[in-house]
Structure 1
Amino acid sequence: MANAFIPEISDRICSHMNDDHADAVALYAKVFGNEPDTIAATMQKIDAQGMDLTVQTPDAQKSVRIAFDHDLQDAEDAHHTLIAMVKQARQAGP
């Protein structure tokens, strides 16, 4: 349901993640974005299928798209999915 992610909802989720969970966003880039050299990352957009990050590595800044394992239904589903992904990424370890 891509319509569940109107720009205001995407912006709210991205702002929250970037302001309060920057470490988790960088971890998403490292583990799910296949960018192990990530120094920092910011979430630019989220929709039902995935999230778009801007990733800073020692060599470059790049855009990275991370697909979800299912289509998100709403913001609550996004919340639970992002938490599950960070737990999974932490278990994968550096």
Structure 2
Amino acid sequence: MTTFGPDVVAAVARHMNDDHADDCRIICQGLGGQPRATAARVSGMDDEAMEFVATVDGAPVPVRIPFRARLTERRQIRAEAARMYREACETLGVTPRADAS
């Protein structure tokens, strides 16, 4: 059983997709093994990973990126998403946004 209910998953997906679309793409490029992704959206999440649908060569590709550790509280989600973004930037040699904390 997942720690997070469908309402939490929907809220996280909505926030990431509406406010951090470029971050989602960078995460999929740098950590999700999809360096040619031109876009990505959060499609789901559980306590072990965030799931995306990346657009690669015009086609949707599912991407599941594990969290560093199992999440047990909602407040951990933001920190883990920010960590994933920063690590993806480092992998890609991209300077992260100044507010990515």
Indicate the larger mover: 43-52 or 83-92: 83-92
Deviations 1:42-82 (A, max 9, x none): 00111110011111011521111111121011221011111
State the partner residue of 2:7: 8
Which one-letter code corresponds to 2:15 in the other structure?
Answer: H
Matching of residues 1-94 of structure 1 within 5 Å? 2-3=2-3, 5-94=4-93
- Secondary structure of the 2:37 match is coil
Q: CA deviation at 1:2?
A: 2.3
Normalised TM-score (structure 1): 0.90
Structure 1 consecutive aligned stretches of length 4 or more whose deviation exceeds 4 Å? none
**TM-score, structure 2 normalization:** 0.85
Name the amino acid aligned to 1:36: P
| Matched letter for residue 2 of structure 2 | A
* Percent identical residues: 27
More helix by share: 1
C-alpha separation in 2, matches of 1:81 and 1:59: 28
